Structure 1
Amino acid sequence: MEEQAYDFENLSLGSEGMMVLILQRNLNYLGNNLIEDGLFGEETYNVVVQFQMKHKLIANGIVDYKTMIKVDLEFEKYSKKRKIS
């Protein structure tokens, strides 16, 4: 399976570190207003659930491989649009 080719640890409530910070920055770039502190708290959780619902992913607030890839793809798509404008 494709997911096993990458070393990715799920992010969820209580997670912290650089990957959470990157997630928060990317979600903010997509129009959210999270505090970029690298701590996966209630606000980050709520934004993740909304993102998952919008993109028809399992809306459980856990950033698994599929959610992270979708965030990255949306970030790339949005940043390309902004450069063209």
Structure 2
Amino acid sequence: MIVRIMGEGQWKLADSHFVELNKLDDELLEEMEAGDEEGFRRTLCALLDAVRRLGSTLPDDALEPSELILPAPDASLDEVREMLSEDGLIPG
């Protein structure tokens, strides 16, 4: 699956990594619902770091469609809230 982090680029990740990413996404959703800004920031960074660590970077000139788009690391809680589906940032 191709994942884009807004403002950074794209990474290719194996589907097997989505168990770990979904756990972080669930935690992020709970922190957002609780209004926990500090927890939200920490978990968003952990989620984005996991994508960078587990995935392989695509070249900037690659024209692959992104199957998942994640917010930039400095996105506000309100900006991320607008990107959410009922499953969080990551479907499933």
Give the TM-score normalised by the residue count of structure 2: 0.30
| Higher relative contact order structure (alpha carbons within 8 Å, sequence separation ≥ 6) | 2
Going by fraction, where is strand more abundant, 1 or 2? 2
Going by fraction, where is helix more abundant, 1 or 2? 1
